[in-house]
Amino acid sequence: MQEDKQLAVVSLSQTVSYHRHNYHQVVISLSGQSEFDIDGVTNLIHPGLGCLVMANCEHAFVGIGDNELLVINLPLVFDDNNEIKQRITQLFSRSGYFYLDNQSQQLIQLLTTEMKANPTDELLQQACIMTLLCVLQRHLHIPYRERQSQRLNIDVVDNYIQRNINHKITVAQLAAIVFLAESQFYALFKTQTGNTPQRYILQKRLQLAKQLLSERKLTVAHIAQACGFAGQSSFSQAFRRLYGVPPARYQRQL
């Protein structure tokens, strides 16, 4: 990754890289997916997720297809500004992964767009860095708190399903966004919701399909695609099992 700038938007290659550096680093996914290994802990990073890499922490990373990351490099000495030092110290209590709420994600996307449009405006870059540090310190969520309470943040899971509902969603992907092993996530999820993850995802797909059918704007085939089903046949079978009628008849009866 780019190391000569304090703030940069980068794309990772699909070749694994290993290194360490003498400054702290914040990495936030803007689009696509990448994989990081920090102190032996591996996780997928995609929009809404990121990682903190402490100075001199060995880490590896690789891009998965098209990806874009916001990278903030923070020196250990920061112009003798005690307030900034305090914020960085609090933020970098350890290396690890984090996720951000929707409001923080939107703000980061706006700041990134502004920075990319004005790459030579140093004052803007510094102002954005300070804003990003404040946002991260106040709004990032560190997963170890959830592990301690043995509770999953279902809102994070729902948000991921909603954003990716027209694609295949695996248990491994859901486990990654809450930083758990697949088996641990599966057990916690079933205990907390009473459903398996696969059944839960299917219900979310069918709830959306039912809503789209009632709006009468799309054909059954288009709705099947929009809700992530492999085809119209599998969609019709799943819909009928849950609601007792095939989707086309349900729409006619409305």
One DSSP character per residue, 106-131 reads HHHHHHHHHHHH-TT-HHHHHHHHHH
Beta bridge partners of 134: none
Is residue 160 located within the same domain as residue 130?
no
Q: Is residue 1 part of a domain?
A: no
Question: What are the pLDDT digits (tens) for 115-159?
Answer: 889 988 989 988 888 888 888 877 765 554 444 456 788 988 998
Tokens standing for residue 205 = 């797909």
In 10 A of CB 7, how many CB atoms? 21
- For 15-32, what is the mean pLDDT? 92
Is residue 11 located within the same domain as residue 137?
yes
Is residue 35 located within the same domain as residue 135?
yes
- For 196-222, what is the mean pLDDT? 95
Residues 54, 31: contact at Cβ < 8 Å?
no
| pTM for this model (two decimals) | 0.64
| Rounded Cα distance, 31 and 18, in Å | 22
User: What amino acid occupies position 144?
Assistant: Y
Is residue 135 located within the same domain as residue 12?
yes
Residues 212, 226: contact at Cβ < 8 Å?
yes
Buried b (16+ CB within 10 A) or exposed e, 202-224: bebbbebbbebbeeeeeebeebb
- Domain end (from 142, 166, 182): 142
Is residue 222 located within the same domain as residue 167?
yes
Question: What are the pLDDT digits (tens) for 42-81?
Answer: 888 888 888 999 889 999 999 999 999 999 998 766 555 5
| Rounded Cα distance, 133 and 235, in Å | 45
Q: Is residue 243 part of a domain?
A: yes
Q: What are phi and psi of 94, to 5 degrees?
A: -170, 160
The parent domain of residue 110 ranges over 7-142
- Domain end (from 142, 170, 203): 142
Please tell me the least confidently modeled range out of 2-11, 81-90, 242-251. Answer: 81-90
In the chain, the number of structural domains is 2
- Domain end (from 117, 142, 167): 142
Amino acid 81: pLDDT: 59
β pairing state of 7-10 and 41-45: unpaired
Is residue 176 located within the same domain as residue 230?
yes
Tokens standing for residue 236 = 């019709």
| Surface-to-core class of residue 164, CB atoms within 10 Å of its CB (0-12 exposed, 13-18 middle, 19+ buried) | middle
Amino acid 82: pLDDT: 63
- For 94-121, what is the mean pLDDT? 86
Residues 226, 166: contact at Cβ < 8 Å?
yes
